[in-house]
Amino acid sequence: MERKNVWETYNAHQLEELEAHALRYREFLDRGKTERECIDYIVNSAKEAGYRELQTLIEEKATLKKGDKVYAVWMNKSIILFQIGEKPLEEGMNILGAHIDSPRLDIKQNPLYEEGGFAYLDTHYYGGVKKYQWVTLPLAIHGVVMKKDGTTVEIHVGDDEEDPVFFVSDLLVHLAAEQLEKKAAKVIEGEALDVIIGNKPLLLQQEQEGEEKKEVGKEAVKQGILAILKEAYHIEEEDFISAELEVVPAGKAREAGFDRSMILAYGQDDRVCAFSSLEAMLELKETEKTACCILVDKEEIGSVGATGMKSRFFENMVAEVMNLMGGYSELALRRCLSASKMLSSDVSSAFDPSYASSFDKKNVAYMGKGLVLNKFTGARGKSGSNDANAEYLAQLRAIFEKEQVHFQTAELGRVDLGGGGTIAYILARYGMDVIDSGVAVLNMHSPWEATNKADVYEAKRGYAAFLKNT
């Protein structure tokens, strides 16, 4: 069964919309290089679209009714948006979900050291990375330092034209004969992914016999960096203990190809689905069922922790919304959750002709062929998968056909090769219909991932059709 290339199908108006969507998407990627930065962007956009903060409404003992829009943020790293529909919540919601964390290098809690005249920050990589891809790239540092006095210092350095960048070194090829004998997984080891942040000693001014003398103290390069951090950010070495600093590729999201058909950027897994879900949610007109959009943290490390999908945060917020609508009971909440339907969106691996043997050509996502539906994911014998119900797939086919949304069905790769998990199975535990859907990505999980603009646009169209028709 052949699928059309969706570029063939667009009229002039759609092409205009597609380009506008791609441009906003690139701005989102540039402004959201961490979960916290994504949350800032999402909250601002939601407020502009008329969303109000749930916590404030709870304190005001407000009531929620049809058409109301609310959002709830958890620990500055996850967010849920609701748009109240006409029907009672017990009849279920239409839910979009995606994640806003991406693979990167996290800075350790005692990171700063000096060696061979360089100052380094020690890192611990986050999510699945091919470590050798992270050397000799310009890197930026984004994140926050929480000080003991309760103040927050925001750090983002490396992405403005004038900013310095950072990097991880690699051995020159002339001396790499031994290194190149190693397996790719071992060529660069996790502890070698330390980031170089300085190479100049702090000079101490000393007066001797009436003469100014310059002197270099112990660990002078490290001391120099600490002096800069103190001046620029008012932080001390100890403050790294309560910091969350992420090392990410420096640079903006770019159009790729002479035809500008693609986007090359860091963090498209899964900010491409997060952004397209958000846009579909924010442009939504009044609906019968309540619409919900969940954008969460920690998917890349198993959806753990208070801000991951396995946290009770989602279910708690549904209970709060139900309570403000006046119909809360434990049973009503259970009924609402099990009657809901969800598109759990995450990226899918795009067919790569250079590595054709890793895929089943009939069951892989192609760039430019639209929204991807993965009935199941998982490794080998579908381990870790959410296997969506055929009845649900039939319903989605009908909706997408009606709204002329172009979609394709796919698996990640060849059956015995491996696979991955998403957040789908976690929501499926409530008994609701959930399917994995998303956008095809080339070079997935690399520092610079590629998507096709048409797929990004088609994802937004698909999510909008789902919210309106399910």
Query: Which residue ranges make up the site for Mn ion (CB under 5 A)?
Result: 269-270, 346
Closest-by-Cβ residue to Mn ion is: 270
Instruction: Rank residues 248 and 325 by Cβ distance to Mn ion and give the closer one.
Output: 248
Query: Quick one: 253 or 284, whose CB is closer to Mn ion?
Result: 253
* CB closer to Mn ion, 272 vs 292: 272
Strands 433-438 and 371-374, bridge-based pairing? antiparallel
Say if residues 269 and 449 touch (Cβ distance below 8 Å).
yes
- CA dist 212 → 78, 205, 223, 388 (Å): 55, 7, 20, 76
Residue nearer to Mn ion on the CB measure, 229 or 442: 442
Spatial CB neighbours of 2, under 8 Å, sequence gap ≥ 6: none
Looking at the Cβ atoms of 159 and 346, the one nearer to Mn ion is 346
DSSP SS3 for 115:
strand
CB of 420 to Mn ion, least distance (A): 7
Q: How far is the CB of 167 from Mn ion (least distance, A)?
A: 24
Angle in degrees, 0-180, between the axes of helices 390-402 and 453-469, rounded to the nearest 10: 110
The answer to whether the CB of 38 falls within 8 A of the CB of 21 is no
Distance in Å, CB of 29 to Mn ion, minimum: 15
Residue closer to Mn ion (CB basis): 269 or 455? 269
Residues 417 and 358: beta-carbon distance below 8 Å: yes
Neighbouring CB atoms inside 10 A of 364's CB total: 23
We find the least distance from the C-beta atom of residue 99 to Mn ion, in angstroms, to be: 6
Handedness of CA 54, 57, 63, 68 (dihedral sign): negative
In order of 96, 103, 276, 437, the CA distances from 371 in angstroms are 14, 23, 11, 7
CB of 300 to Mn ion, least distance (A): 5
Of 336, 434, 293, 317, whose CA–CA distance to 91 is shortest? Answer: 336
Quote helix, strand, coil % in the chain, to nearest 5.
Answer: 35, 25, 35
- Please choose, from the candidates 164, 181, 289, 274, the residue with its C-alpha nearest in 3D space to the C-alpha of residue 228: 164
Nearer to Mn ion, 171 or 379 (CB): 379
Give whichever of 272 and 333 is closer to Mn ion, judged by the CB atom: 272
Please state the closest distance from residue 346 (CB atom) to Mn ion, in A.
Answer: 4
Give the shortest CB-101-to-Mn ion separation in angstroms. Answer: 9
> What minimum distance in Å lies between the beta carbon of 438 and Mn ion?
8
Residue in the block written with tokens 């990097």: 167
Number of alpha helices (DSSP H) and beta strands (DSSP E) in the chain = 11, 22
Contact present, 27 and 20 (Cβ < 8 Å): no
Say how far residue 69 (Cα) sits from the centre of its chain.
23
Cβ at position 80, least distance to Mn ion in Å: 18
Residue 346 vs 411, nearer CB to Mn ion: 346
Q: Tell which residue, 93, 453, 102, 108, has the closest CA to residue 293.
A: 93
- Nearest-approach distance from CB 269 to Mn ion, in angstroms: 4
Q: Which is nearer to Mn ion, 270 or 433 (CB)?
A: 270
Give CA–CA dist 456/407, Å, rounded: 12
Q: Cα–Cα distance between 129 and 136 in angstroms, integer?
A: 15
Give 270 or 297: the residue with its C-beta nearer to Mn ion.
270
The CB-of-103 to Mn ion minimum distance in angstroms stands at: 7
